Amino acid sequence: MAPADTRHPPHSVRIGGAILGLLLLAGPALAEEPGGPVAEEPAASPAAAGPDEADLDRLLALLPEADPEWGAFLSGDCTACHREGAGGEGIPDIVGWPAEAIATSLAAYRSGLGENPTMRTMAQRLSDEEIAALAVYFESRAP
């Protein structure tokens, strides 16, 4: 699925097969967050270097067939904090982001990257199919 409307451009650069420059990065809050100690889990797991590039490519390959209706239900976990059309300084508006950006960001959090324990926790239980469903749902909601 081609990245469509980038009215809310994520902080990412596509290089080779993967989106780098992670968006972990995903928004002002994350970008500003200092690298202080967070959460009780180990800071550096073997996976903390981020998602494997081949794994990420497999995930992105799911996007064309992903299920936005499933994503709509799964997005209930997101919308209590991410407000459509009005992201603040603390939590970004993710509605309308390109699916690849959402998927790459969630994959990064799932792999342990990023300092925000809320996002790591939310992402940790997501399967590839669930991430893909969320990604195409949020893209489909582009204003």
Q: Binding residues for other proteins, per CB under 8 A?
A: 29, 32-34, 36-41, 67, 69-70, 72-74, 76-77, 79-84, 86-91, 117-118, 120-122, 124-125
Question: Residue 108 corresponds to which tokens in the numbers above?
Answer: 């990064």
Q: Closest approach of Cβ 15 to other proteins, in Å?
A: 28
Q: Using CA of residue 120, residue 122, residue 60, residue 30, what is the dihedral sign?
A: negative
Q: Which residues pair with 19 in a beta bridge?
A: 14
Q: Closest approach of Cβ 44 to other proteins, in Å?
A: 16
Nearest to 24 by CA among 39, 35, 40: 35
Beta carbon nearer to other proteins, 18 or 75: 75
Q: Closest approach of Cβ 119 to other proteins, in Å?
A: 10
